[in-house]
Amino acid sequence: MSTAVEYAKDFGADLHVATVLPDFGMPVVRGFFPDDFQEKAQSDIEDKLAVFCDEHIASKIGAHSVVRVGNVYEEILKLADEISCDLIVMASHRPELKDYLLGPNAARVVRHANCSVLVVWD
């Protein structure tokens, strides 16, 4: 996160901090969760992400928290297009062999984004 904050400060940009929840409403998994689970989980994450942004980022730059539901890389790409993003900064774990075969979310974002992508190893 610090890399994204530094870039935003250096370039006078706003930072959109996004997280993507899995879609628990899919027929395969819907029956394993209470009816209102998706809404409660999303509301809880929205509150926590907003607090995180306020406490750790907002005093330094303009920060916006965004919670999406769905496929991680697809939702990141949609958001980037919606806000006319100039740069996507995302964390990624160090790749393992299976990631080269299956493709992690970061790799998919890099391949399909309409803007530059900076991947920061965590």
Bin 12: left if φ > 0, else alpha if -120 < ψ < 50, else beta.
Answer: left
The predicted structure's pLDDT at residue 99: 58
* Residue 107 to residue 36: CA distance in whole angstroms: 33
Query: What is the structure's pLDDT at 114?
Result: 98
- Report how far residue 39's alpha carbon sits from residue 20's, in angstroms, rounded to the nearest whole number: 13
**Beta carbons within 10 angstroms of residue 111's beta carbon:** 11
Cβ neighbors of 63 (< 8 A, separation 6 or more) are 14, 15, 16, 17, 53, 54, 57
Q: Tens of pLDDT along 87-97?
A: 999 988 776 66
Distance CA 53, CA 50 (A): 5
Q: Give the closest residue to 64 by CA, choosing from 20, 21, 10, 18.
A: 18
Position 28 scores a pLDDT of: 75
Alpha helices (H) along 1-122: 2-11, 27-30, 37-56, 72-82, 97-102, 105-112
pLDDT for 102 equals: 45
User: Rounded to two decimals, what is the model's pTM?
Assistant: 0.84
Whether domain 71-122 has CATH 3.40.1710.10: the reply is: no
The pair of structure tokens assigned to 44 is: 């809880």
Domain parsing of the chain, residue ranges: 17-70, 71-122
- Calculate Rg over the CA atoms of the chain: 16
7-56 pLDDT tens trace: 999 999 999 999 999 887 777 777 788 888 889 999 999 999 999 999 98
The pLDDT value given to residue 103: 56
Whole-number average pLDDT of the chain: 88
